[in-house]
Structure 1
């Protein structure tokens, strides 16, 4: 059986020639050939040059929104296109698990296994999902141990839709929702004190939503310490790692969490619509099957995720995305992303009245950071500024609301961004520093 871990097919970059009209032969399964990253990640400029060559993206704008979608590298995009052609040509034969040499479930299990290896989990502890939001809805809405009157806790830094999922537990399960705000500055001491206080003040707490890396301001809390703190009080944690997988190097044991939902199309740069859940094997029965799903048995983690028709080509491409990530190096990639973040932050810190939302504390941030222009207050101000940056400077920054302290502009450089593009951002911030003065 031909393996699927490589990127370059016979004859070039997955160079699968289209079958001529009238030819019955199907496209071959994408062949195995190793991807090798040629770049010095220790050299900031050399790393930029090597990484930029891996992407084919619109450079008419400088796009700082990798927290939404990281974009596939060229080899991953080629693999995805090849898988899409193959799935289309084999259509129902593959979908019915009957394609000779490539049974659907066995092929998808290779993707599950690749994710499991990346996260230090067992394959039977991983189920693929249609993104982080779907994965986390599945964990939150189907948490089986909740009883009427139990409290569910979340913070202002948590993602909107995951907050909505917790709110749903109030209406559907009789839970009591406890919302709190993390005090600024977001130092480790302040964060731990805030979680300790809310847990102490909520004796009937049963479930805590914890965000591994906030999509609002980029905060990385001390996850393992908070999980341990919650468990000591009998509180389960659902960890939202949508922004962490492929961004911050970690294993499931590094977090201590039993339930994790995550995206793969953000920082891992897999095709759109890919994500997954991790459920510790000993805790599987504490997440109920999705709406009574019986396509898979109750002992199968895949019963916890919707089992309708999905983009199979996208899921089949996940191992290629992981292999590119590993070829670059997870730790080296993280260090480079932090360098990109520090590059622009260090060049605007001296602007009077400008607020950088995260303290310069090691381990508390990655690539994502929110900031406020001097005098920027309400959500309309943030939207006005984001539109100005896009229209006038051709820079995509994102207006984010939801923090107790007010809205922010979020900057999320990706691997395909350069210091030259960040120089444009710095110049724009300096030029518009008096926009709301």
Structure 2
């Protein structure tokens, strides 16, 4: 049973919830009682680093015997959002097939799911008919890439070393299934805006039959945020469509679909928005819908319905129904304030290790080119096995979860991704571990 004490999680100064509303989970025991979320209020001072850390940490029920720096994988729900998810899980289970087949009395299934689509559309400045929900960012981007309709045999598909592995695989599939020509290139380091724009300009000029460009909004490998709007405009000027991988950007960077200039965007909701696992979505500009074919001939929805572009099997309905609660929690904190705090978390540890002899930081301190995700190489670290060894050492010896990432042309890295729940003390442990192990491969 979700009690008021569990719901608040001891965070009286951080979250204020309406009296009695925390009982929504057990009240869902009545078949006709739709779970109603309490107002999401956050009273932490986001302009004060320590006060913000304290208030934000109180929102989470996560283990503290390890310091986990992997928010780029899963953001972890806040206590209020987890309570909302539990209530909806209970409600869906109690109403089971009655709801799944079309809806319980007073709660049509599609109308309730459309409330989630509407909330996502509002967050991205889009129309609900331009949004479909998916089982995460990977599924969303596979749907966009594999079903991109205008591609003809011999057309070129471009992607870079900073792009996500599975999205590269999806582009490779276009070569196997559609006769596309793959053009892979490496972004030059340092990843300054000038270098990035020059590299994309060159690859577009050098690829006369380019038709499709995969562009990553925020790289899962090293945290690079390219000048998205400029690259999209550059590609469009040459008749090249862009599929934008915003899996790491939604709930992390303040932006709207219009800000990017992209007509096709795939994204995750269980990373930085901290919605339940297995949530994501696609955005397709309304006038470009027919340029993404229905998923494997899907006719469950009409061809002019964006939902036909996503698999329509049985999903975690409770997770999708909880998405508006995750957005409400983000709204209570404030996306701009959340973004500023994430940057402070990143800058805190980076500034303290920057001058470690031989340590490589992967991104320059150029405003707008990074978020909370960053990566480093220990002196002498080379090859994926070294990166895995270092990540294992940090976990076993220091109880710090950092992630070994390969795929960059310059070599493997250790990725660090602070979450809103990480503390100054945990960041200090990370800094101490990096300094202590600087000679691991020397």
TM-score (norm 1): 0.96
What secondary structure, in the 3-state scheme, does the structure 2 residue paired with 1:13 have?
A: helix
Between the aligned partners of 2:97 and 2:427, the Cα distance in structure 1 is 47
CA contact 1:149–1:204 (8 Å) conserved in 2: yes
Match of 2:268 among 260, 263, 266: 263
1:397 paired with 2:406, answer no
Cα distance, 1:16 vs. partner? 3.3
1:314 paired with 2:323, answer no
CA contact 2:25–2:86 (8 Å) conserved in 1: no
1:299 paired with 2:267, answer no
Report what 1:148 is aligned to. Answer: 153
Deviations 1:6-61, CA, capped at 9 Å, x for gaps: 996873424433799xxxx4372112431100100010000000000000001110
Between the aligned partners of 1:19 and 1:354, the Cα distance in structure 2 is 54
Match of 2:20 among 2, 11, 27: 11
1:329 paired with 2:334, answer yes
CA contact 1:7–1:31 (8 Å) conserved in 2: no
1:47 paired with 2:56, answer no
Deviations 1:327-360, CA, capped at 9 Å, x for gaps: 1000000000000000000000110100000000
Report what 1:94 is aligned to. Answer: 99
1:120 paired with 2:132, answer no
What secondary structure, in the 3-state scheme, does the structure 1 residue paired with 2:54 have?
A: helix
Report what 2:7 is aligned to. Answer: none
Between the aligned partners of 1:98 and 1:400, the Cα distance in structure 2 is 44
Between the aligned partners of 2:31 and 2:20, the Cα distance in structure 1 is 16
1:130 paired with 2:135, answer yes
Between the aligned partners of 2:417 and 2:108, the Cα distance in structure 1 is 39
1:173 paired with 2:178, answer yes
What secondary structure, in the 3-state scheme, does the structure 2 residue paired with 1:115 have?
A: helix
Report what 2:11 is aligned to. Answer: none
Deviations 1:295-345, CA, capped at 9 Å, x for gaps: 000000000000000000000000000000011000000000000000000
Between the aligned partners of 1:135 and 1:17, the Cα distance in structure 2 is 34
Deviations 1:255-295, CA, capped at 9 Å, x for gaps: 00000000000000000000000000000000000000000
Unaligned stretches of 5+ in structure 1? Answer: 1-5
Unaligned stretches of 5+ in structure 2? Answer: 1-14
CA contact 2:24–2:35 (8 Å) conserved in 1: no
Between the aligned partners of 1:206 and 1:98, the Cα distance in structure 2 is 42
1:352 paired with 2:362, answer no
Between the aligned partners of 2:159 and 2:73, the Cα distance in structure 1 is 22
Match of 2:244 among 230, 235, 239: 239
CA contact 1:9–1:15 (8 Å) conserved in 2: no
Deviations 1:54-112, CA, capped at 9 Å, x for gaps: 00001110000000000000000000000000000000110111301111000000000
Match of 1:418 among 383, 407, 423: 423
Match of 1:111 among 111, 116, 141: 116
Change (3 A) 1:8 1:79: farther
What secondary structure, in the 3-state scheme, does the structure 2 residue paired with 1:325 have?
A: helix
Between the aligned partners of 2:220 and 2:424, the Cα distance in structure 1 is 22
Between the aligned partners of 1:245 and 1:390, the Cα distance in structure 2 is 28
Aligned CA-pair RMSD: 1.4
Match of 2:346 among 329, 341, 344: 341
Change (3 A) 1:359 1:101: same
Report what 1:388 is aligned to. Answer: 393
Between the aligned partners of 1:162 and 1:270, the Cα distance in structure 2 is 22
CA contact 1:27–1:89 (8 Å) conserved in 2: no
Cα distance, 1:419 vs. partner? 1.1
Between the aligned partners of 1:318 and 1:136, the Cα distance in structure 2 is 19
Between the aligned partners of 2:146 and 2:172, the Cα distance in structure 1 is 10
Deviations 1:215-251, CA, capped at 9 Å, x for gaps: 0000000000000000000000000000000000000
